[in-house]
Amino acid sequence: MSTRADSLPPGEAAPPLLQLVDLRMHFPITRGVVFQRQVGAVRAVDGVSLEVRRGETLGLVGESGCGKTTIGRCIVRLYEPTGGQILIDGRDVAHVGGREMRPLRRRVQMIFQDPYSSLNPRMTVRQTLEEPLATHGLAVGREARRARVDELLGLVGLNPAFADRYPHEFSGGQRQRIGFARALAVEPDFVVCDEPVSALDVSIQAQVLNLLRRLQRQLGLTYLFIAHDLAVVRHISDRVAVMYLGKIVEVAPRAALYGRPLHPYTRALLSAVPVPDPELEARRERIVLRGDVPSPANPPSGCRFHPRCPWATELCAREEPKLEASDDAEQRVACHYWREIQAGQAMREPAVA
């Protein structure tokens, strides 16, 4: 039975499994060798509020360095956030530690971008998969662990006979499947997928994405799917959140975001995605953004996108827009001029340098 959000009855939304409330992750900039002093901070994530509903896949997209991976690492507590809340079923886990972390480690797992560097080259696949079982007291006994390892490998489409091989003996796609098996070993209900197919050949990406969808249906998983490839995100996500320089600028159901983007940054990202129809590709508008992404150590005032935005005015430089609902309550956007953009009015020249 499908657990995806679009399988719910019309008008009924799944309750959130994960909620981020004003999440902040600032990395200090220090000077000095012996007596270090902080002279600033990199605001990698700066006030993100977001929810992921049980059983859905939320895609998180944006340019490199916008803070997507940092959010994922905060959720699994590889980083302790500077501020804000991370609510799992209503419980704040942003600053828990010690023994309180063990249940969280079981519930929330992460699949990393590079399938080779995330696996210990000195451990066989069996040892890699047995380690979390032993840590969490699962499948007690040698025979039970061996049976569980064989089950996990079969679950991700690998031959259990390969269990005693080392990571270097597998292809990139097979290594990523081993990473999936390791994440699933502790029976989580939430998985952060950090660019899980970006290091794979295009011919393998579809197989891995289909595997993720099958595992979601079979095991009732909830995904946060982090990626920069909008075509990949469109294939797997129920809803999509767009991130720019540490902020969420738009959140919408997949069809709404790809069919009617409201934020200028979302429009620019989608205009860069190739269309398979040559005639349509030749006619459609391409939005080229000016300048480079500002430094997260010194972000612009007001709307962080305003130095590159064709719609920007003095208001954008002065006042940060809130993430508010559009005419469709499911689609939220942080832009002062989203109504004008929706109406299709002509783009202006930047009014603010």
The segments of the chain whose pLDDT lies below 70 read 1-14, 276-283, 345-353
Do residues 122 and 95 lie in contact, with contact meaning Cβ atoms separated by under 8 Å?
Answer: no
Q: What is the pLDDT of residue 353?
A: 37
Q: What is the pLDDT of residue 9?
A: 44
Q: What is the pLDDT of residue 5?
A: 43
Q: Please state the φ and ψ torsions of residue 170, each to the nearest 5 degrees.
A: -115, 160
Q: What is the pLDDT of residue 352?
A: 41
Cα(254)–Cα(258) distance, integer angstroms: 6
Distances (CA, A) of 33 to 26, 36, 41: 21, 6, 17
Cβ contacts of 154-163, under 8 Å, gap ≥ 24: 155/181, 155/184, 155/215, 155/218, 156/180, 156/181, 156/184, 156/211, 156/215, 157/211, 162/125, 163/124, 163/125, 163/126, 163/129
Q: What is the pLDDT of residue 346?
A: 42
Q: What is the pLDDT of residue 272?
A: 80
- Do the bridges between strand 37-53 and strand 247-253 make them parallel or antiparallel, or are there none, so unpaired? unpaired
This prediction has a pTM of 0.89
Domain ranges of the chain: 5-244, 261-353
Identify the CA nearest to 191 among candidates 210, 219, 153, 163: 219
Do residues 317 and 306 lie in contact, with contact meaning Cβ atoms separated by under 8 Å?
Answer: yes
CATH topology of domain 5-244: Rossmann fold (3.40.50)
